[in-house]
Amino acid sequence: MGDDVYVVGHKSPDTDTVVSAIVYAKIKGYIPVIQGAINEETAFVLDKFGVPVPGELGSAEGKKLVLVDHNEATQAPDNLDKAEIVEIIDHHKMNFNYPDPIAIHIEPVGSTATILAKLYQDEVSKDKALAGLLLGALLSDTVIFKSPTTTEEDKRVASQLAEVAGIADIEAFGIDVKKSKANISDKPIKDVVLADFKDFDFGGKKVGIGQTEVVDINDVYNRASEIMDFLKDTKTKEGYEMLIFVATDIIKEGSELYYAGDKAKLEAAFNTTVGDDSVWIDGLMSRKKQVVPVIDKQF
């Protein structure tokens, strides 16, 4: 193993994953890396604070890694078994096995950025760019505090970060962040579904759950047939037991769930009648808190 330590977030990187890798690497003198291209939202946040996009990790083989914003093997780099994991910082449920004792820091807060901001308050309070990046990531993951994953800690930390970053209106900044990737109309449907997509192992079955956030759900309804074709096709080709695409309207505060797989499982999970292609669930904002646990339970 080399001496360099790489900080890496999950596949289909979101803003929290990329920012957490950048900030933790900066504080510790490690190297931030990503797995896959960043989305427009992340590009907007990095650009705003003049921070370059991290390089790709490539193969994990023989590398020392810190995992941020995930601890699920299916979302981690390939060849993880040939890497040395030195630490995990995350805000997702624990789903990790490792033969050696390592440092693991998991807190039930709205973003990994929140945890880093709390742990490294001194460093962050002196660095406008770091504070701005963390605030962008926190607002992204908590959907501007509308997600049920939001805690009082997130709100408190956000105010501190905004002060350091010189952002007067947190809400307005959050909407700027969210709007930057909300336009799906000119994108291939594959990119829309896979932009924020996670693979899970539920009782030995492969389940994939994608999510997008829009400011008008009609943009998604207009592309329903394309979404369904893609889900059905991918389920067959990639051997998924179930595929779900969660289209969240951040203004209406609810989601249309499209799926390919067993309707009965979805009806049992959400305790409601489900259409052949999709169902609207009022108040559903969070994949982590409102989709993953109830679907996992069905397997």
Q: How far apart are CA 30 and CA 66, in angstroms?
A: 9
By beta-carbon proximity to Mg ion, the closer residue of 20 and 298 is: 20
- On whether the CB atoms of residues 245 and 260 are closer than 8 A, the answer is no
Q: How far apart are CA 178 and CA 213, in angstroms?
A: 8
**Least CB distance from residue 154 to Mg ion, whole Å?**
11
**Binding stretches for Mg ion (CB under 5 A):** 14, 16-17, 69, 111-112, 141
* C-alpha radius of gyration, the chain, whole number: 19
By beta-carbon proximity to Mg ion, the closer residue of 286 and 298 is: 286
By beta-carbon proximity to Mg ion, the closer residue of 128 and 289 is: 289
**Least CB distance from residue 137 to Mg ion, whole Å?**
7
By beta-carbon proximity to Mg ion, the closer residue of 41 and 69 is: 69
**Least CB distance from residue 44 to Mg ion, whole Å?**
15
Distances (CA, A) of 12 to 60, 141, 169, 198: 16, 14, 29, 7
By beta-carbon proximity to Mg ion, the closer residue of 119 and 224 is: 119
Q: How far apart are CA 229 and CA 222, in angstroms?
A: 14
**Least CB distance from residue 26 to Mg ion, whole Å?**
18
Residue number with the shortest CB distance to Mg ion?
16
**Least CB distance from residue 16 to Mg ion, whole Å?**
3
